[in-house]
Amino acid sequence: MNNPNRYEEVPQKENKFAKGLKAFGRYLKFVFVDFFNSFKYNNMKLAAILFALPGILLGFFMFAHVPTIRHVTVSYERSVEGSNVAITAALNADSTDDTTDYKLTLGKYDGNNNIVLVKDAIDTEASNFNQDTAPVDGYAKTDKQTTQLSTPDNVTLTQLDKDSYSIAFDALSEEEQKNVKFYTILIYQTVNENDYFYTYSEYSAEQANVRITRLNKDLSYTVAVKAVASDNTEYYSSKISKHVKFTVGESGSNASSEDYDEANSKYIQYAGTYSVESVDGATPTGDIRNLKLVVNANGLISYQYAGNTVNARLSGNSATDLSSNALETVNILPFDFSAIAIFILTLFGFLNVFLSLELSKKKNLGSVIKAALTTVVIVGLGALYIYAIVATDNALHLENGLKLGGVTTMFDTDCIISIVTVGASAFFSLAGLILAFINYDRTYEKVDR
- CA-to-CA distance for 162 and 211, rounded, in angstroms? 9
Phi, psi of 307 (to 5 degrees): 80, 0
Mark residue 214 as left, alpha or beta (left: phi above 0; alpha: psi -120 to 50; beta: remaining): left
C-alpha dihedral (243, 245, 247, 252), degrees to nearest 10: 30
* Architecture of the domain whose range is 79-331: Sandwich (2.60)
Q: What is the CA radius of gyration of the chain?
A: 35
pLDDT at 339: 92
Name the pairing type of β-strands 221-229 and 180-191.
Answer: antiparallel
What residues have CB less than 8 Å from 104, skipping those under 6 apart?
A: 87, 88, 89, 116, 117, 270, 274, 293, 295, 322
Runs of H (alpha helix) within 43-190:
45-60, 62-71, 174-178
Q: Other C-beta atoms within 10 Å of 257: how many?
A: 14
Closest CA to 425 of 355, 348, 362, 373: 348
User: Which DSSP state fits 407?
Assistant: B
Residues in the chain: 449
Domain with CATH 2.60.40.10 in the chain: 79-331
Nearest to 198, CA basis, from 265, 118, 133: 265
Please tell me the predicted confidence (pLDDT) of residue 402: 84
Per-residue pLDDT of the chain (449 residues; tens, 9 = 90+): 556 665 555 566 666 666 666 666 665 555 555 555 555 556 677 778 888 888 888 888 888 999 999 999 999 888 888 889 999 988 877 765 566 678 899 998 888 899 999 988 655 544 456 888 888 899 998 889 999 999 999 999 999 998 999 999 998 999 999 999 999 999 999 887 888 888 888 887 767 788 888 898 988 999 999 999 998 899 999 999 999 999 999 998 888 766 667 778 888 888 888 999 999 989 988 889 899 999 988 889 999 988 889 999 998 877 778 999 998 889 999 999 999 999 999 999 889 888 888 887 777 788 888 889 999 999 999 999 999 999 999 998 888 788 876 788 899 999 999 999 999 999 999 988 888 888 776 665 555 54
Q: What is the pLDDT of residue 364?
A: 79
Phi/psi of residue 93, nearest 5 degrees: -65, -25
Q: Give the 3-state secondary structure of residue 21.
A: helix
CB 201 within 8 A of CB 211: yes
Three-state secondary structure call for residue 369: helix
86-125 as b/e: b if 16+ CB within 10 A: ebbbeeeeeeeeeebbbbbbbeebeebeebbbbbeeeeee
With a CB cutoff of 8 Å and minimum separation 6, the contacts of 223 are 155, 157, 167, 185, 186, 187, 188, 243, 244, 246
Q: Where do the DSSP E strands lie in 338-395?
A: none
